[in-house]
Amino acid sequence: MNTVLLKRAICFLIFLLSCQELFAQDPQFTQYYAAPLYLNPAFAGTTGQHRASVNYRNHWSSLPQAFVTYAFAYDYNLPASNSNIGVIVSTDRAGSANLSSTNIGAIYSYTIPLNNKLRAMPAFQVGYSSQSMDFSKLVFGDQLAFGNADAPTTDPDARNLDNNNHFDFASGLIIYSSKFWAGFALHHINQPNQSALDGESKLPMRATLHGGMKIPLKLGPMKSGIESSINPSFNYRKQGRFDQLDLGFNYYYRMLMLGLWYKGIPLQKDMPRTINHDALAVSVGLSMNNLNFGYSYDMTVSKLGPASSGGSHEISLIMELQLSKRPGKVSRKDKYNPCPAFMPRYLWKP
């Protein structure tokens, strides 16, 4: 048998035997405030008239064939009604066989004024997902036995492998004012079967609970001082037996943003004698006119460690357009944008 193939087979068997259970979960963004439709479909329409966002994440960048995730979203609030629409496309890729998952979703949300300062927005998302991999890069048992990974396989599982496509549904609700926001979302409500074989492997429902607030600051004299703010927020998510809490804050000063975040649940043990610490994250951002740019880095603090994982890099880009009839004026609806806006238009004047 080929020595390289033999080593790979032995390592793979050791890995399988050393794992009693294997878990997986949806990709997540550290800058969840910069991926609002991915976080909760109810955020569709919570900005000026138009918003487009692009997000990129390279998870554990130093590992071979690391997890890479992309997301694009667009949303629009209909000026003549309380309705809002949006669309989101996300894809992630991992592994030497390029295991990929692409999701496309259409969103509708409705704005319910609770009083002059408080609003509620329920939403529903209809999506379609496609999973695929490069089956030619898989190595089966009979190929290892002959010591030739290029030889055709007769393994029956190889004939049963197929790309997987399914519908996927999500819903959410947010309640917000210009000072705070809170919401929850449910993704994969129908728990679709994602097995590439004839068996069943249901995708667990993902539940998230999130909220935050804006604390305005004034630097300098009362009337002529520079406006800034601190925006603390949290995002708790649970999917199957996996759960995690993101907790931190962003500090806004004119066109700059700085953030510090903790990811994990410090009082919970995810394995025997192991506290659930995942990462510490720092973020920076810049706002120029209608364009917002953000970068964040996750430093792994779990047993994997930053030296072996390389940490995680994330980039976000958001463009907002307010096509009002009176340039320079903020509409009444836009005045009550919720806090998670990356750089709220009412926060400072260029």
Report residue 141 CA to chain centroid gap.
Answer: 36
Closest to 109 in 3D by CA, of 141, 82, 79? 82
SS3 assignment, position 283: strand
Q: Which residues of 34-46 are buried (b: 16+ CB within 10 A; e: fewer)?
A: bbbbbbbbbbbbb
Inside any domain, residue 330: yes
Inside any domain, residue 30: yes
CATH number at 279 reads: 2.40.160.40
Inside any domain, residue 346: no
Inside any domain, residue 342: no
Domain total in the chain: 1
Across the chain, which has 350 residues, the per-10-residue mean pLDDT values are 46 40 69 93 88 90 76 90 94 73 94 89 94 67 60 60 82 91 95 76 92 83 65 92 90 91 76 61 90 91 63 91 55 47 36
Inside any domain, residue 279: yes
Inside any domain, residue 184: yes
List, for residues 261-312, the tens digit of each pLDDT value.
999 887 666 554 444 667 899 999 998 888 899 999 998 776 665 555 678 8
pTM for this one? Answer: 0.79
Inside any domain, residue 316: yes
Inside any domain, residue 45: yes
The residue segments making up the domain with residue 310 are 3-335
121 in Cβ contact with 45 (< 8 Å): yes
